[in-house]
Amino acid sequence: MNQDEKRKFIINLYQNRYTCKGFDPEKRVSDEDFNAIIEAGRLAPSSMGFEPWKFVLINNEDVKEKIKPHAWGGEKSLEGASHFLVILTRSPKDLRYDSDYIEYIQKDIQGFSDELREPRKIKYKNFQIEDFKLFESDRALFDWACKNTYIALANMLTAAAVLGVDSTPIEGFHRDNLERVLIEERIIDPEHFGLCCMVAFGYTNREHRPKTRRKVEEVLEIIE
């Protein structure tokens, strides 16, 4: 594709991508397509490359039934979607500048030497404490990590649209109650993770209404 074709492809993709309101339980997303969607999430950017996310595929029907009472926004997805993901975010303990997890990421994943890790640690400490004031509460640090995790979610939604797979991002749940269920089911280790959001993938069973959005003049301001 030339540049003009690429631009048209992108705009058309997002014009037609929508949140699915009901899934056809008879249609399944192929393993190949689902794996590509997960890869899009795995490869997402994050602050300093610390990858605070974890994706949990829920196939167990008993677990889905236990999720339903606490997830008013996910009931239809739980009943018909081909794939249902619970998305977790690293705990404040793990995302502190001096945590074992951050040391693991910088040393074993990113391959930084001791000499390089120390100044990065200081920079990250200053960012957390001074720039974003993330130590004011555990919730502040967790919510910041969730913002990073939503980038991975966005990648997966776009990848699904490219592949012709419908999707539904889900925040419609009682966080404390649902997190308690997931801890009881040993899906969440609360020392290292918390519940961020959920997302369903599959194929719609209904028509959707045309997309409505504000005009570009309302969302873009240019400072010359």
Q: Which domains does the chain have, with CATH numbers?
A: 19-92+142-219 (3.40.109.10)
pLDDT, tens digit, 9 for 90 and up, residues 155-167? 999 999 999 999 9
Residue 185 binned pLDDT confidence (cut-offs 50, 70, 90): very high
Report the DSSP pairing between strands 83-90 and 166-170. Answer: unpaired
Q: Helices marked H in 89-163 — which ranges?
A: 92-95, 100-104, 114-126, 138-162
Question: For residues 32 and 211, is the Cβ–Cβ distance under 8 A?
Answer: no
- CA angle, 50 as apex, 46 and 54 as ends, to 5°? 85
Q: Calculate mean pLDDT across residues 32-39.
A: 99
Does the pLDDT of residue 77 top 90, yes or no? yes
pLDDT digits (tens, 9 = 90+) for 104-120: 999 999 999 999 999 99
pTM for this one? 0.96
pLDDT at 170 over 90: yes
